[in-house]
């Protein structure tokens, strides 16, 4: 049994210790915001924080992080108010969106350790791939989040949704069963 903390909650996984963290999060904990991209640690779609450091979860065996603290995109904030998340919306970063949770996690880890990163520091810390090529918007969002996080103007982005994420699908008419 492997034990560590995910998004502030202690977890005990009864899985092979060599199981990649990605699959423990997605399959056992149903935290599907962490995406499977390449499975080789190259694309970064599966980026999470392990003890505050951005890590490619497809390359981290759960047995290697016993006692660690893991944060996924779902645990970054409960209401999507993190400066990086707000900057992402304000700068209209997402296009297809698949890589975005990993990008946001990489950017949040960078800003936690480097409050005002240079372009070179961004390039070094964020090696995630975006097939849509939104890199210029990503850079602008990181700069904007850095300013907001350190006393700058608040970001006027979309407000957090007025719905509990667990209930989000309940309001979708196409997913509501009809009783004919």
Digit-coded pLDDT (tens) for 120-140? 999 999 999 999 999 999 999
Query: What is the pLDDT confidence band of residue 169, given thresholds at 50, 70 and 90?
Result: low
Mean pLDDT over 32-50 rounds to 96
Instruction: Give the span between the Cα atoms of 8 and 2, in whole angstroms.
Output: 16
Work out the burial of residue 21: count CB atoms within 10 Å of its CB; fewer than 13 is exposed, 13-18 middle, 19 or more buried: buried
Torsion sign, CA atoms 114, 23, 20, 130? negative
pLDDT of residue 177: 53
pLDDT of residue 53: 97
pLDDT of residue 150: 80
DSSP assigned state of 20: B
pTM, to two decimals: 0.85
Mean pLDDT over 26-40 rounds to 95
Of 146, 84, 88, the closest CA to residue 114 belongs to 146
Tokens at 76, concatenated: 């970054």
The answer to whether residues 72 and 34 touch, using CB atoms and an 8 Å cutoff, is: yes
């Amino acid at each position: 049994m492997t034990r560590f903390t995910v998004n502030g909650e202690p977890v005990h996984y009864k899985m092979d210790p060599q199981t990649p963290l990605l699959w423990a999060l997605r399959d056992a904990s149903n935290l599907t915001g962490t995406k499977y991209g390449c499975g080789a640690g190259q694309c970064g779609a599966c980026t999470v924080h392990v003890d505050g450091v951005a890590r490619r979860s497809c390359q981290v065996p759960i047995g290697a992080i016993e006692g660690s603290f893991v944060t996924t995109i779902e645990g970054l904030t409960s209401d999507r108010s993190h400066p990086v998340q707000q900057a992402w919306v304000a700068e209209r970063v997402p296009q297809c969106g698949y890589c975005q949770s990993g990008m946001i996690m990489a950017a949040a880890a960078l800003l936690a350790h480097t409050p005002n990163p240079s372009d070179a520091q961004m390039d070094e810390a964020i090696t995630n791939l975006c097939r849509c090529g939104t890199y210029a918007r990503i850079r602008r969002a990181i700069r904007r989040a850095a300013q907001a996080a350190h006393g700058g103007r608040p970001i006027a982005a979309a407000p957090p949704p007025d719905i509990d994420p667990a209930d989000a699908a309940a309001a979708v008419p196409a997913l509501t069963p009809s009783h004919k």
